[in-house]
Each structure stands twice: as C-alpha cells, then as structure tokens.
A and B are shown apart, each in its own frame.
Chain A
C-alpha cells in the first residue's frame, strides 16, 4: 500500500510535475469532467477553493454510505463521516491519481469530477 501523508505531498507534487502524471486513461466515456493533467497539489487547491454544493453532496453521498456506514467498527472499510474537508479532498484525489491503492475507490474517483468532489467534501465534513 502506497500511502501519502503530510510532507511527502510536496515531494510528490514535484515528482509528478516532472513525469507529467496521468499515463492511465481518464474519460473513457466522455462523462469524466476533470482535467487531470494538472499536478496533484494544484488539483487539491482547485477543489478546496470551490464552496461545494451540500445538496448535491447529500445525493452523491448516498452512493458512499452503502459501504462507509457509521457503525463500521472493526471494518476493512473506514468511517468517513466528519472527515475534515482538506483531508477528504486530498485522500480522494490520491485515489484519482492512483497514489492510493484501492481499485474500487480509484474507479469511483475516475468517474467523479471536481465539482462533485467539492460537494462531497462539504457534505461529509459537516456530518457528525
């Protein structure tokens, strides 16, 4: 599992800036709305700058909560209610950029645009 936290971020942004990240395919069907050929750090900044539509987030979140239940003690699938906005956006984009290693989450993030991610971050960060 290749996990990225804190200070490694800067390092990774530089590394991926050099290697011109996505060698993997986005936008298989034209539904994909993101422009992923920007460095990860820039993508994080862009999503965090969006207010995030909480109503939209509430709808999108219904998909997440099938697996990410609140009463998820002792689970291989973590609780995501109440995750801080910054952490949530960063983690989700790491899936999108294939820096986090879970194929379910990578596929979900591939089909999720920036606006949708901002909406989800707003929704989950406000949840108890």
Chain B
C-alpha cells in the first residue's frame, strides 16, 4: 500500500484513533498468503519450514482432505508386520498449534489462476499470492483393462496409503498355504520405484513367517527392468526360494487385462490366477494439477529446475510426484527435498530474502527381510536447465549382515526424521 493511498485513507477517516486502527488492519492485510494443496511429504514440509522461516509474517493455509495422513513410505513395513498402522499415520496438530498454520480439511476443487484463488469442496474461496501444489498422484484405473476404482475394493492397489493399505493387509492375512498372489506392477513413471518390489518382499516375509511357504507371488511387470533389481532378486533367492516369480514383458508378452471377480490377470502368454490380486495401475499428477492446466502430455507438470516453479504459471510451484523433476524419482524423500527449494523461493518472492543455487536429494530405502535393508539415492542439481544427478549411491550385492542391519536402522531413523520434518 503506497503512502499516498494511506494518507488518503487517514484523511478520509479524519480521526487519529481511526487512522491507527486502520493502519493495523492494513498491516494484517499486507501479509502475503501462501496456499499449499496437499499435506504429504511435499506440502507438509513446505508448510512447516515456511512457518519457521517467515515467523508469522506470511499467512499459510494447508488444504488437505484427510484429518490424519498415512505415509505411503513405510506402508510396506506395515504389510510386513514391522510397523502398526498408527506408527505410519500422523496428525496435523503441531503444524496447527505450534506453527500457526491454518489447516483446511477439504479438497481443492478449482484453482482460478487469474483471480489467484482456490475454491474448496467445503465452498470456501481462499486467495493466494503464491500457491504450492503437492497433490501426489492419481491412478489411471483404465490402464489395466477391466480394473476400476470400485474393483479396487476387491483387488486393492494400495498405492495411496490409508484404507487401501489396511484392505491389502487384511487380504494378505487371510491367505492360506498354496495360495497365489498376483501383482500387476505399474509402468514408468510412477510413485516410489522400488515400492512394488519391497512389497513383494514384505508379503513373502509374512507368508514365510506363518509357515505358508507353498504360496507364490507372481509379479507381472510392464517394465523390462526395475529399481534395485539385482538386490531384490538376490534377497528373494536367499530368503524366499521358490516363492517369488517375476515376469517382464519379454516373457508375458503384454498385460491384456484383469478379471477381478474371477481373480485372473490375462497376458499374451498365459492367464495368471490369484487368491489375491494387487493391481497397481499407471499414474498421473493429482487431478487438481491437471485441471488447472499445469501438466503436459505426459500427465505430469513441467517445472523450472532451479525453483520447482511451474513452467505454466509464475505464481505456482508444483512439487513431489505430480512434477516432472528431471532425473529425480517420485518419492517422499524427493518431495521433501523439493519443498526446501520452494520455501527458499517463497521467502525470496514474498520477503525479499536471498536465493542460492538449488540442491536436491533423494534416498529410497527398502526392506528385503528382517534387518536386511537396502538403499539407493542421489544428489541433484540444476545442470543446464534440468534437474540431473551430481553423485549417487546404491547398496551392493553380498554386503555383510552388519551393513544391511545398519542400513535398516538408518532407514528407521530416516523415517522418524522426515516425519518430524513434515509434521513438527
């Protein structure tokens, strides 16, 4: 608000007390508004870190339709019996009470980029100076012919954590010796590259622990190869001999579709029947990002490598699974890292603070069997306008039991760390 305008206001009010009251209102109105859509690894991290940096100078609104958030990462450990559901479920109380963040429990229905406001499913209209979209993924159910959102109640995907994860767990617990599990793995790009294969390990672990070693887990994969393949193959052979069968497209010839009622997945090569089907379909950016016009033909959102700012709108940042973040995988760890870059740019945009070169990091932890953890990860930077890896690491085959146990312990510490980083 310019001084001329303020003087005009004061003159209009014509009283000292009134002028003082008005200047107080002007100050409150002068505070910038940041609205964050999605309260997961990307959105919650932005909310908490921005609140810490801005110290009340920015109004922060977090729009997330669940009351409590179940992390997709470590949900396989719940399936394996290593964690209970409560331990992977987190509330927003500290973000609300300790950090002064306004949590709106609703869906973001529509974003008006011209008026710079978000309309929620509860009918509220929330204005923004800067918007952060971290809506995660939407599943493209039709990518596996015969599958649908309704049929996911029988053949769960469990690729968005919550009731689906609990449903899959109860179905795993109901398996009998000799039963077959059929997983349809997703095509690239998808959330959590090693996730399907850690899940296979965790299902095998629980079956083996119950003595159900005549069970088999068949993975029908649309991909020729997958993340940490050598390490998973080594672990399956070592711990679960004869229990896991993985088929790539050069063997099954293509996944034709699923008959959920009949418990069968049809491929070019054969039909695979299972007492339990776990269908993980293809994925795209959360629908709000697409309906706002921020995605490209890939179904994900192009962003500036230096800031995670949408290439379609300077006032909007897109992070996490919904974004096209160059060489970075879609993971909670990546989203958390991207959030830090976004906070720096939000502060620079709104509070005129300094900007430094963006740095990103990702680590994907997987558990193969009790105390046998493996990891893959990398550092990333802006290399000629694209997010590219600058250094990387991966667990090695035949590592000692000590190294693998330490990697598992590190992963548990990482989980405690990142969830505190997100939720305070």
Interface residues of A (CB under 8 A from B): 28-32, 55-56, 59-60, 62-63, 65-69, 71-72, 75-77, 103-104, 106-108, 110-111
Contact partner of B381 (CB less than 8 A), chosen from A29, A60, A104, A107, is: A29
Q: Which residues of the partner chain B approach A62 to less than 8 Å between Cβ atoms?
A: 49, 340, 343-344
Identity of the chain A residue whose Cβ is nearest the Cβ of B356 in the assembled complex: A59
Q: How far is the CA of A24 from the CA of B417 in the complex (A)?
A: 30
How far is the CB of B95 from the nearest CB of chain A, in Å?
A: 16
User: Are B410 and A104 closer than 8 Å at their CB atoms?
Assistant: yes
Provide the B345-380 mask, 1 if CB < 8 A to any CB of A, else 0.
000000001101001010100000000000101110
Q: Which residues of the partner chain A approach B356 to less than 8 Å between Cβ atoms?
A: 55-56, 59-60
Q: How far is the CA of A55 from the CA of B344 in the complex (A)?
A: 11
Interface residues of B (CB under 8 A from A): 49, 333, 336-337, 340, 343-344, 353-354, 356, 359, 361, 363, 375, 377-379, 381, 383, 388-395, 406, 409-410, 412-414, 416-418, 420-421
User: Are A106 and B390 closer than 8 Å at their CB atoms?
Assistant: no
Q: How far is the CA of A59 from the CA of B378 in the complex (A)?
A: 19
Identity of the chain B residue whose Cβ is nearest the Cβ of A55 in the assembled complex: B354
Q: How far is the CA of A111 from the CA of B391 in the complex (A)?
A: 6
Q: Which residues of the partner chain A approach B389 to less than 8 Å between Cβ atoms?
A: 28-29
User: Are B393 and A104 closer than 8 Å at their CB atoms?
Assistant: yes
- When A62-B340, A63-B340 are in contact, do A69 and B420 touch as well, CB less than 8 Å? yes
User: Are A28 and B390 closer than 8 Å at their CB atoms?
Assistant: yes
Q: How far is the CA of A107 from the CA of B359 in the complex (A)?
A: 13
Identity of the chain A residue whose Cβ is nearest the Cβ of B337 in the assembled complex: A63
Q: How far is the CA of A116 from the CA of B392 in the complex (A)?
A: 18
- When A31-B390, A63-B340 are in contact, do A72 and B359 touch as well, CB less than 8 Å? no
Identity of the chain A residue whose Cβ is nearest the Cβ of B45 in the assembled complex: A66
Seed contacts A67-B418, A77-B414; 6 additional CB < 8 Å A-B pairs: A59-B344, A66-B421, A69-B420, A72-B413, A104-B363, A104-B375
User: Are A66 and B390 closer than 8 Å at their CB atoms?
Assistant: no
How far is the CB of B403 from the nearest CB of chain A, in Å?
A: 9
Q: How far is the CA of A77 from the CA of B363 in the complex (A)?
A: 14
Q: Which residues of the partner chain B approach A111 to less than 8 Å between Cβ atoms?
A: 359, 379, 381, 390-391
User: Are B406 and A76 closer than 8 Å at their CB atoms?
Assistant: yes
Contact partner of B414 (CB less than 8 A), chosen from A30, A55, A67, A71, is: A67
Q: Which residues of the partner chain A approach B337 to less than 8 Å between Cβ atoms?
A: 63, 66
User: Are A69 and B406 closer than 8 Å at their CB atoms?
Assistant: no
20 contacts between A and B (CB under 8 A): A29-B388, A31-B390, A62-B343, A63-B337, A63-B340, A63-B359, A65-B417, A65-B421, A66-B333, A66-B421, A67-B417, A68-B417, A76-B410, A76-B412, A77-B410, A77-B413, A103-B395, A104-B410, A110-B390, A111-B391
How far is the CB of A86 from the nearest CB of chain B, in Å?
A: 24
User: Are A77 and B381 closer than 8 Å at their CB atoms?
Assistant: no
Identity of the chain B residue whose Cβ is nearest the Cβ of A109 in the assembled complex: B391
Contact partner of A29 (CB less than 8 A), chosen from B49, B390, B420, is: B390
User: Are A72 and B417 closer than 8 Å at their CB atoms?
Assistant: yes
Q: How far is the CA of A67 from the CA of B375 in the complex (A)?
A: 14
Q: How far is the CA of A59 from the CA of B388 in the complex (A)?
A: 20
User: Are A76 and B409 closer than 8 Å at their CB atoms?
Assistant: yes
Most interface-central of B337, B379, B412, B414 (chain A CB within 10 A): B379
Q: Which residues of the partner chain A approach B379 to less than 8 Å between Cβ atoms?
A: 107-108, 110-111
